[in-house]
Amino acid sequence: MKIKQARATMAHPAFCGVARQHLGELIEELAPRWEARCESARHKRRRGARRRQAGAGPKYELVFTDRLLATLVHLRTGLTHEALGVIYEVGSSTSDPAVITD
């Protein structure tokens, strides 16, 4: 299953438990906060300003939307990280941290 197909499947209210309109609003509200938190953690880890251009470095296999969906599905259905990895066709090293825990 391709990522777009997995995203469409996981976004179905039967899996994530949230109506599509509400899911869109949730993504719009939480994505900037998540990005700011990630950047703050990177800034702290680097002990200063970024050393490369924005966008340089490794790319995430699962973007915020997929991470949010994986978290909602995990909390609603109890699917394991391994099962979520199979749905998204990613390894366990990607699917474990994809579920947002804090």
Q: How far apart are the C-alpha atoms of 82 and 38, rounded to whole Å? A: 24
Q: How far apart are the C-alpha atoms of 26 and 80, rounded to whole Å? A: 23
Q: In the prediction, which pLDDT does 101 show?
A: 57
Q: In the prediction, which pLDDT does 96 show?
A: 66
Q: In the prediction, which pLDDT does 100 show?
A: 64
Sequence-separated contacts (24+) of 26-33 with Cβ below 8 Å: 26/68, 27/64, 27/65, 27/68, 30/64, 30/68, 31/64, 31/65
* Mean pLDDT per 10-residue segment, the chain (102 residues): 84 92 95 89 82 71 88 91 86 69 54
For 7, residues 6+ apart whose C-beta sits below 8 A from its C-beta are: 65, 66, 69
- Could you tell me the pTM of the whole model? 0.77
Q: How far apart are the C-alpha atoms of 28 and 26, rounded to whole Å? A: 5
